């Protein structure tokens, strides 16, 4: 059997708001027990809550700090979204066609820098989908570089399965979510 | 304390995927349930409060049953006194009074008012061996009766099984119930659900530091690429991690090692995710994998010497093992073409992971040598992201079995499926927190 010696209460000194009132002052008293006394106060089981202050950090309802204008601008320029097969990051023929079109757009506009945003459908490990989204964005980037777009014009990011363009849980929604979007960087 | 859990494997005879419940595949030969008699604690408070005493007894009882380890004996069956008179200066309990009615545990206790607040002191007896196992006291405000009763129940479980119960633990997870993917925390019964982040960005992959006072998570809160942040109990602003890693590559899925002084994480260099470890501030950076393929999902062994991870170097994602310095890489899973999200059990005996079966995902257990590989949770809808309770008896996971994703827990014997979240968006990526106050 394991007995533990006196230890510090879990939440002591970490309280916030009302929790501070509950936790402060719960200092250990002398005690003849087998185990040292423990403070068990605070909200939640460990004493003290987790929580960010709710501040408007300017992200509003944009996706991960991206302004919606970048996506709109890419659309206005005629940069099209590239779609992928399930669990794949290799380009399909329609994807290569789309990218040749996008290359022609970018060739005319060497002044713009674009971000290629890799996305996945909701199935599978969200962590693997982060990585798969990266691979998709990389595949798009590499193809454009191969076609002749200067690498300095291109950046990539993955949103994994976290930013679906269509909600829903069937193949028609999934097919629209397995994609690389373009956004013009400010 | 290292306990050999799960020695015996029983394979489910029924086609488990047909049932709306987990497959019963693993039983613990040492797992048995105990019976507890809870005396009504003596009320020595400055202002006696019978309701508080009742609430404490009921709270301990509920938490004991919730642990899955104890059953309660009806006080009407007691041969001995139903209430504690005092813990000192009185004769010890007559053990046969308690063992005769089938009780393994007898719990006595009292409530006292001290200058700094309410004190609950209690004593646990093994009624069969007539042995005092533990005496302990908790401080708190009178509103902490719920917290204290769960802590006491977990102590009772520890006295009889060697591992504390899990009723006072918390689960962190990701929910989009407020429109954005934020980190939330709830008690292990689903109560006291609250937001831990509210940055309206994308937040992912919460994981606890060993002491239970910190949660590392991945966030886009600064725009640009994702990176790691640290939530600390009681602090309103998240802390930065890896500040000495000076580049703009995406970094995600941080996990603390068992001693809490190093992080393993995924860092993508030129689009190829690899696994790194470093100190919290990014110093002493070590690259564990350097493969063109995807290497993600680091999961420490409980002794910190090894790591499970996911790689698609074979062409499809599979679970691999390596030493925590990146040496001795070997593939662990071979069944199926999609095995991800490894999680090491607290006793080191099992790695839980998610496996694609047909078009959906189930949760399986495999031992670190790859000899036994058994399904734990199977369902026609997807079950994903397993996370172990610190007592090693339970697993939390996310499932779409009722439509939207919700967090569930299930005993490792496949019983006691519990739905913790409901009615609020998608709830995913559960991370079961440690026992409070223990490292």
Phi, psi of B346 (to 5 degrees): -60, -30
In the prediction, which pLDDT does B216 show? 97
CB A17 within 8 A of CB B119: no
> Does pLDDT of B288 surpass 50?
yes
The predicted model scores a pTM of 0.88
Lowest mean pLDDT among A26-30, B18-22, B262-266, B377-381: A26-30
Q: Does the distance separating the beta carbons of B220 and A45 come in below 8 Å?
A: no
| Region of poorest pLDDT, from B78-82, B224-228, B233-237, B429-433 | B233-237
Q: Please check the confidence at residue B361 and state whether its pLDDT lies above 90.
A: yes
Contacts of B223 in chain A (CB under 8 A): 59, 64-66
Residue listed under structure tokens 């008179």: B85
List all residues 6 or more positions away from B191 whose beta carbon is below 8 Å from its beta carbon: none
pLDDT: is B423 or B208 the higher one? B208
A29 vs B114, B384, B428: nearest CB: B114
B185: nearest CA partner in chain A: A50
Helices (H), B83-169: 95-99, 145-161
Alpha carbons B386 and A130: distance in angstroms, whole number: 18
Report DSSP letters for A121-160, one per residue. Answer: -S-S-HHHHHHHHHHHHHHHHHHHHHHT--GGGEEEEE-T
What was the pLDDT predicted at B269? 86
CA–CA separation, B99 and B107 (whole Å): 13
Strands of the B251-256 sheet, one edge to the other: B251-256, B262-269, B272-279, B286-287
Q: Say whether A130 and B204 touch across the interface (CB within 8 A).
A: yes
Please report the pLDDT score of residue B30 as a whole number.
56
Write the pLDDT tens digit of every residue in B421-437.
Answer: 998 899 999 999 999 87
Predicted confidence band at A37 (pLDDT cuts at 50, 70, 90)? Answer: low
Burial bucket for residue A157 (CB in 10 Å: 0-12, 13-18, 19+):
buried
Share of chain B above pLDDT 70, in %: 92
pLDDT at B47: 94
**Distance (Å) from the alpha carbon of A95 to chain B's nearest alpha carbon:** 19
CA-based radius of gyration for chain B: 23
**Closest residue to A54, CB basis, from B198, B338, B356:** B198
B195: which strand partners? B184
Specify the DSSP element, H or E, that contains B362: strand B360-366
Q: Is B364 helix (H, G, I), strand (E, B) or coil?
A: strand
Interface test with B, best of A35, A86, A126 (most B CBs within 10 A): A126
- Residue A160: which of B183, B295, B202 has the closest Cα? B202
Cβ contact (<8 Å) for A59 and B199? yes
Taking CA atoms, what residue in B is nearest to A132?
B294
Chains A & B: contacts with CB separation below 8 Å: 249
Distance CA B149, CA B66 (A): 12
* Pairwise CB contact (< 8 Å): A2 & B162: yes
pLDDT of residue A22: 32
In tens, the pLDDT along B44-74 reads 999 999 999 999 999 999 999 999 999 999 9
Instruction: Please name the residues in contact with A108: beta carbons below 8 A apart, sequence gap of 6 or more.
Output: none
Q: B407 forms bridges with which residues in the sheet?
A: B398
Contacts of A169 in chain B (CB under 8 A): 400
Q: What is the pLDDT at residue A62?
A: 62
Confidence of residue A3 (pLDDT cuts 50, 70, 90): very low
B310 alpha-carbon distance from chain centroid: 22
pLDDT at A65: 73
pLDDT tens-place string over residues B395-427: 999 999 988 999 999 999 888 999 999 988 999
pLDDT at B23: 46
pLDDT digits (tens, 9 = 90+) for B312-359: 999 999 999 999 999 999 999 999 999 999 999 999 999 999 999 988
Q: Which residues of A touch B196 (CB under 8 A)?
A: 49-52
pLDDT given at position A92: 97
pLDDT of residue B437: 73
Smallest Cα distance from A147 to chain B, Å = 19
Contact B388, B352 (CB under 8 A): yes
Nearest to A131 among B141, B223, B294 (CB): B294
Residue A53 pLDDT grade (very low, low, confident, very high; cuts 50, 70, 90) = low
**Would you state the pLDDT for residue B247?**
73
CA distance B39 to B21: 36
Q: Are strands B34-38 and A179-184 parallel, antiparallel or unpaired?
A: unpaired
Q: Which of B140, B252, B271 sits opposite A156 (nearest CB)?
A: B271
Cβ neighbours of A57 in B, within 8 Å = 199-200, 221
Residues 6+ apart with CB under 8 A from A170: none
């Amino acid at each position: 059997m394991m007995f533990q010696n006196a230890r510090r209460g879990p939440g002591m000194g970490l309280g916030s708001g009302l929790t501070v009132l509950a936790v402060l002052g719960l200092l250990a008293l002398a005690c003849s027990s087998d185990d040292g006394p423990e403070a068990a106060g605070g909200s939640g089981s460990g004493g003290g809550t987790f929580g960010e202050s709710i501040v408007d950090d300017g992200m509003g309802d944009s996706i991960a700090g991206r302004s919606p204008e970048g996506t709109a601008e890419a659309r206005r320029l005629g940069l099209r979204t590239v779609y992928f097969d399930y669990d794949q990051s290799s380009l399909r023929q329609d994807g290569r066609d789309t990218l040749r079109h996008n290359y022609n757009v970018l060739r005319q506009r060497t002044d713009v820098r674009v971000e290629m945003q890799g996305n996945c459908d909701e199935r599978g490990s969200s962590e693997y989908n982060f990585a798969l989204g990266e691979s998709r964005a990389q595949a798009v980037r590499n193809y454009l570089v191969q076609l002749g777009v200067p690498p300095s014009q291109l950046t990539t990011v993955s949103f994994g399965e976290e930013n679906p363009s269509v909600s829903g849980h069937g193949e028609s929604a999934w097919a629209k979510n397995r994609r690389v979007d373009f956004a013009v960087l400010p | 304390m290292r306990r050999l859990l799960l020695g015996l494997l029983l394979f489910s005879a029924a086609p488990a995927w047909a049932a709306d419940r987990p497959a019963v595949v693993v039983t613990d030969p040492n797992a048995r349930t105990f019976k507890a008699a809870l005396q009504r604690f003596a009320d020595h408070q400055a202002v006696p409060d019978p309701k508080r005493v009742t609430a404490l007894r009921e709270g301990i009882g509920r938490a004991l049953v919730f642990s899955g380890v104890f059953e309660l004996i009806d006080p009407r069956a007691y041969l001995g006194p139903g209430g504690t008179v005092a813990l000192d200066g009185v004769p010890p309990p007559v053990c046969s009074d308690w063992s005769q009615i089938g009780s393994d545990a007898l719990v006595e206790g009292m409530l006292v008012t001290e200058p700094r607040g309410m004190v609950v002191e209690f004593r646990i007896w093994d009624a069969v061996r007539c042995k005092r196992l533990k005496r302990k006291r908790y401080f708190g405000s009178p509103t902490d009766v719920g917290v204290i009763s769960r802590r006491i129940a977990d102590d009772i479980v520890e006295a009889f099984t060697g591992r504390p119960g899990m009723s006072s633990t918390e689960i962190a997870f990701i929910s989009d119930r407020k429109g954005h993917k934020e980190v939330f925390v709830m008690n292990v019964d689903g109560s006291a659900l609250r937001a831990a982040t509210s940055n309206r960005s994308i937040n992912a992959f919460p994981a606890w530091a060993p002491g239970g006072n910190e949660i590392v998570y991945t966030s886009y809160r600064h725009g640009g690429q994702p990176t790691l942040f640290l939530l600390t109990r009681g602090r309103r602003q998240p802390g930065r991690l890896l500040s000495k890693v000076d580049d703009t590559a995406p970094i995600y899925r941080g996990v603390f090692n068992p001693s809490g002084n190093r992080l393993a994480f995924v860092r993508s260099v030129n689009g190829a995710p690899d696994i790194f470890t470093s100190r919290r501030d990014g110093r002493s950076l070590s690259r564990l994998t350097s493969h063109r393929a995807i290497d993600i999902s680091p999961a420490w062994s409980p002794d910190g010497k090894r790591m499970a991870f996911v790689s698609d170097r074979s062409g499809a994602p599979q679970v691999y093992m390596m030493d925590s310095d990146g040496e001795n890489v070997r593939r662990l899973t071979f069944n199926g073409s999609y095995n991800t999200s490894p999680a090491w059990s607290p006793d080191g005996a099992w790695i839980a992971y998610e496996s694609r079966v047909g078009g959906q995902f189930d949760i399986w257990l495999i031992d670190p040598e790859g000899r036994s590989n058994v399904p734990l949770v199977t369902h026609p809808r997807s079950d994903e992201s397993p996370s172990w309770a610190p007592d090693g008896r339970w697993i939390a996971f996310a499932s779409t079995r009722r439509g939207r994703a919700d967090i569930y827990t299930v005993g490792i014997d496949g019983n006691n499926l519990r739905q913790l979240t409901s009615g609020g968006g998608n709830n995913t990526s559960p991370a079961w927190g440690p026992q409070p106050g223990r490292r």
